Amino acid sequence: MRRAGLYGVPRVRPWSWQAFLLGFVVVAASAALQGVCVALGAQLYFAAFLPSLFVLGLVAGAPAAVFAAVLTVPLVWWAFIPPFFEFMPLSSANADSINLFCLLAVLLIGLADLCRASMTINGRGGLKSSGDSPATNSQ
């Protein structure tokens, strides 16, 4: 039986400096992609960052993904919310966009952590049953 996992993608140990460096690189790459989207006229401030947070959570774990999410909020506020490259007070719509990003980031990072844990369990051969479960009926 084949084991579940991300074939060809190395997994990084959570809480390592490599995981946090990968988080920084992912935020930089997402910012470059978001810059292209803004240049083409899109006004979705966090569009490029959400999928990358999920993938980062799968590859490097939840701590690196949380680091990337925390790094993303001031970056987007400074670079992509008009006026560009300035910290100005947020309008209520922009504050709502940041709040929605934080909610979605928590949900995606949690989902990625669950997927990472299930891949680890499947990689070890699955859950082992002891046979003495209260759910079994011996009649």
- Determine which of 10-14, 38-42, 127-131 has the lowest per-residue pLDDT on average: 127-131
Rounded percentage of the chain residues whose pLDDT exceeds 90: 68
- Digit-coded pLDDT (tens) for 76-120: 999 999 888 999 999 999 999 999 999 999 999 999 999 998 888
d(CA 65, CA 108): 9
Please name the residues in contact with 95: beta carbons below 8 A apart, sequence gap of 6 or more: none
Taking alpha carbons only, the member of 34, 15, 18 closest to residue 78 is 34
Helices (H), 12-91: 17-39, 49-60, 62-79
Band of pLDDT at residue 1, cut at 50, 70 and 90: very low
